[in-house]
A and B are shown apart, each in its own frame.
Chain A
Amino acid sequence: EAGVAQSPRYKIIEKRQSVAFWCNPISGHATLYWYQQILGQGPKLLIQFQNNGVVDDSQLPKDRFSAERLKGVDSTLKIQPAKLEDSAVYLCASRGTSFGETQYFGPGTRLLVL
């Protein structure tokens, strides 16, 4: 079974520029998560989708971050404009429908904002 795919793997941009990340979850997984992982810290949830609907975006900085999952499969996370403090790894994870089922993580996109 294919895992969670993410692209690009690395991105370097200057502050105030925009950037977008893409995630394709495991086939059939209804729930998709985006996390931000700052160096030396655990992943922090940004947004959670159930199919194409948002379940939780309470920690998403909505003035600059946006995410969508229009067809309930793959998803994009966008930052516009980027700040220095957005430098982090952006992880996508997906989960099946049963309670407590594992979240499977992709390899992440490493973003450096200069």
Chain B
Amino acid sequence: GENVEQHPSTLSVQEGDSAVIKCTYSDSASNYFPWYKQELGKGPQLIIDIRSNVGEKKDQRIAVTLNKTAKHFSLHITETQPEDSAVYFCAANLRGVTGGGNKLTFGTGTQLKVEL
């Protein structure tokens, strides 16, 4: 099955600085990579995703890059703000051999703290 590793486990930055979170995956057949933000007491919310036919995607202050050869993908947050403080999870989607069998495997999460 798929295995996703995520680093770092905790990240502390000053407001306005950039934050980078990195993930690696094991199954080269995975082809969809979402990033979720989870605030305390809430369920994960999608913030950005990328498909394997794209190398980079950007949405305002958030960007994701994908290196299929190295099986790496990264989340970049620029101009961080206190409200960016949360746990961020990467995930890799592996389409099942049977119809509808899309299966997300999550990383272990990164606790991001943006300090004033």
Q: Are B100 and A91 in contact (CB under 8 A)?
A: no
Q: Are B96 and A99 in contact (CB under 8 A)?
A: no
Q: Are A48 and B109 in contact (CB under 8 A)?
A: no
Q: Which positions in A face B, CB cutoff 8 Å?
A: 4, 30-31, 40-45, 48, 50, 55-56, 91, 93, 95, 97, 99-100, 102-108
Known contacts A40-B109, A55-B96, A100-B51: does B46 contact A95 (CB below 8 Å)? no
Q: Which positions in B face A, CB cutoff 8 Å?
A: 4, 6, 31-32, 34, 36, 41-46, 49, 51, 89, 91, 93, 95-96, 98-109
Q: Are B43 and A42 in contact (CB under 8 A)?
A: no
Which residues does chain B contribute within 8 Å of A43, judged by CB atoms? Answer: 44, 89, 104, 106
A91 CA / B43 CA spacing, docked (Å): 7
Inter-chain contact total with CB atoms closer than 8 Å: 66
Known contacts A91-B43, A91-B44: does B99 contact A41 (CB below 8 Å)? no
Known contacts A42-B107, A100-B32: does B102 contact A105 (CB below 8 Å)? no
A18 CA / B73 CA spacing, docked (Å): 41
Q: Kindly provide the distance from the CB of A8 to the nearest chain B CB, expressed in whole angstroms.
A: 14
Task: Name B103's contact: one of A56, A91, A99 (CB within 8 Å).
Answer: A56
Q: Are A105 and B98 in contact (CB under 8 A)?
A: no
Q: Are A45 and B104 in contact (CB under 8 A)?
A: yes
Q: Which 8 A-B pairs have the closest CB atoms?
A: A42-B106, A105-B43, A50-B100, A100-B32, A105-B44, A107-B43, A102-B46, A108-B43
Task: Name B102's contact: one of A4, A41, A100 (CB within 8 Å).
Answer: A100
